[in-house]
Structure 1
Amino acid sequence: MLKFTDQYDAVLPALESKVAEFHYFQYDTFTTEDLWQYCLKKKWKKKDIGEMRIHEMVNDIMDIRASDFVAYNQVEGLKSGSWFTEGNMADLEELLRPSHKKPKSI
């Protein structure tokens, strides 16, 4: 996992502001660390983070739209998620073998 602690500390107020904005719009699960990882892995994937200026980083952070961030997290979840983990097995069993309840008559 990439860190860049000095840069993270420098842009933390911008990250916190953006996370507060997302929370205002009911996206309550986002954290500053999630947003930071999004920037490192998506927005700045082809950039040398060590050479970026702070104002560039802050501008990129403030330009992030919630829809882009949500879409990225959904794709990452699909890539990394194990569909057949122990916790998901009950859901999978229910999906494949639903209970055979008779529909109520009206």
Structure 2
Amino acid sequence: MEKSHAYDHFRTLVKPALASKLSEFQILGIDSVSESSLWKYLQKKKWKKVKDEIYLHEIIQDILAVKVSNYMSFATIEAYKSPVFSLENENEWKQLLK
């Protein structure tokens, strides 16, 4: 289980900004992005270094400034990090070689 991020208390306050960014993704044809995955991106990339004092408008600005290409690069790298299947199972090898 992941430990909470210092900015997690802002999450409920910025839901409209997150929804706006997700609708931008949908307009561009990317329907697979969820609110939690966008928040995870922000935590790991934008807010890697936590400021002692941050304001709500800075959080919203960071959300609205997310570029689709940067998010997709992050999601691709995360997908490579977590194995979808292991090749230890003989049936998985057979499926792969079909």
TM-score interval, smaller chain: 0.7 to 0.9
Amino acid at match of 2:77: V
Please list every run of 5 or more consecutive structure 2 residues that lacks an aligned counterpart in the other structure.
none
Compare CA radii of gyration and give the structure with the larger one. Answer: 1
Partner of 2:94: 93
Partner of 1:103: none
* Equivalent residue pairs, number: 94
Quick one: which of 76, 80, 86 aligns to 1:84?
86
Partner of 2:72: 70
- Name the TM-score, length of structure 1 as normaliser: 0.74
- Name the TM-score, length of structure 2 as normaliser: 0.80
Deviation at 1:24, TM superposition (A): 1.0
Amino acid at match of 1:68: N
Q: Which moved more, 1:2-11 or 1:38-47?
A: 2-11
Please list every run of 5 or more consecutive structure 1 residues that lacks an aligned counterpart in the other structure.
99-106
Quick one: which of 51, 55, 58 aligns to 1:56?
58
Matching of residue 20 in structure 1 with residue 16 in structure 2 = no
Partner of 1:104: none
Q: Which moved more, 1:58-67 or 1:75-84?
A: 75-84
Cα shift readout 1:22-80 (whole Å, capped 9, x = no counterpart): 011110011111111110111100123x6321111111111111111011011011112
CA RMSD of aligned residues (A): 2.3
Deviation at 1:11, TM superposition (A): 1.1
Amino acid at match of 1:27: I
